[in-house]
Homo-oligomer: A and B are copies of this chain.
Amino acid sequence: MAITLEELQLATRNHGLPLEALRYPVTPVGLHYLLTHFDVPVVPDGWRLRVGGQVKRELTLSLHDLRARPPTTSVVTMECAGNGRAHLDPRPVSQPWRSEAVGTGEWTGVPLRSLLVEAGVSQRAEEVLFSGSDRGVDGGVEQAYERSLPLDEAFREDVLLAYDLNGAPLPPQHGAPLRLVVPGWYGMTNVKWLERITVLERPFDGYQQTRAYRLRRDEDDEGIPLTRIRPRALMAPPGIPDFLSRHRIVDAGPCPLEGRAWSGLAPVAAVEVSVDGGAVWTAAEVEPQLGPWAWAGWRFVWEAAPGDYELLCRARDEAGNEQPLVPEWNVGGYANNAVQRVPVTVRA
């Protein structure tokens, strides 16, 4: 199914990780995937974070106030819930990602938990709502971008309000001056351009929670909310590319295949590689993860003989989640973690 001009408009704005950039343990700024729902907003002078709703004490904090608190840094792999959408058939019309909507950042900020404790969350609280300053129309509904978290997730020690990425202030496109980072959850959770945190007595029913970002079999299905990232392994395509087709050419001989693997559900347990289109799978060597929520490097040396091949890789996590060989279709085109397939030609 050919791509529409509407999808192209999204694809030229948003961008994935060029897969050769899997070689960096932490993704350099500008190579990390990026999905901007509306526009990158103008942040007003005198920006403040407001914490309110069902709390004992409302908080109003400047960036200076936040930076004055003890900082936490963590390396987190983030992936768009729509990654893999363009491989579905029929293809749900939205940002047409292939497999590249991923990146790993070193995020520094303040634990969300510390602010919630300071504000004093009500006994009746159920969720915490995060509101960004980016605004637009989605599915016919005008809205600021907003998403909520259940209380137990919001109180995790590793959930951050981040003001730095890779040791420098957040760039505008990653949510300056402050964003949420919820390790292990798909990208839509990590609200950018944060301006308000609201403790709620009942579940948030906004568009991005109840209509978008749900796994639905058909239009009548209420669906299941997307939360944590399914396992995936990706390979940096070996050899050299053709500019237009991106088809790869590899020299015969030992060819190191390298990439990264991650899961938001459990640590990475194994990565396997197939060089014959999926008939035979062999275990790759897997490096330790860079942190509990960061991807793991993997490596496999392929003895490449002349011919045409389809290279595959797949990850399994310690909870037993595995990547499917064939995509599982759903209305929104979410969470398609079917294995990557890399066609290559080996020359003598």
Q: Which residues of A contact B (CB under 8 A)?
A: 2-16, 18, 20-21, 23-24, 28-32, 34, 36-40, 42, 86, 93-94, 96-98, 100, 135-139, 142, 171-174, 237, 240-246, 249
Contacts and interface: CB of A to CB of B under 8 A. Distances in A.
A172 B10 CA distance: 24
B93 A244 contact: yes
B137 A9 contact: no
22 contacts: A3-B3, A3-B7, A3-B8, A8-B11, A8-B86, A9-B98, A11-B12, A12-B15, A13-B18, A18-B36, A23-B42, A29-B29, A29-B30, A30-B30, A30-B171, A31-B171, A31-B173, A38-B241, A136-B240, A136-B241, A136-B243, A139-B243
A40 to B, nearest CB: 5
Given A137-B242, A244-B93, A40 B12 contact: no
A177 to B, nearest CB: 13
B172 A28 contact: yes
A36 B172 CA distance: 23
Contacts of A8: 3, 7-8, 11, 86, 96, 98
Q: How many copies of this chain are found per oligomer?
A: 2
Contacts of A13: 15-16, 18, 100, 246
Contact of A242 (B24, B32, B36, B138): B138
Nearest to A138: B243
Contacts of A20: 39-40
Contacts of A173: 18, 21, 28, 30-31
A263 to B, nearest CB: 23
A94 B243 CA distance: 9
A245 B3 contact: no
A18 B3 contact: no
A20 to B, nearest CB: 4
Contact of A243 (B100, B137, B174): B137
A6 B2 CA distance: 10
Nearest to A100: B12
A136 B242 contact: yes
Contacts of A37: 243
B12 A98 contact: yes
Q: Most B CB atoms within 10 A — which of A30, A34, A94, A142? A: A30
A94 B23 CA distance: 26
Contact of A244 (B10, B29, B36): B10
Contact of A171 (B23, B28, B243, B249): B28
Given A93-B244, A138-B242, 5 more contacts: A9-B246, A13-B16, A15-B15, A30-B171, A94-B244
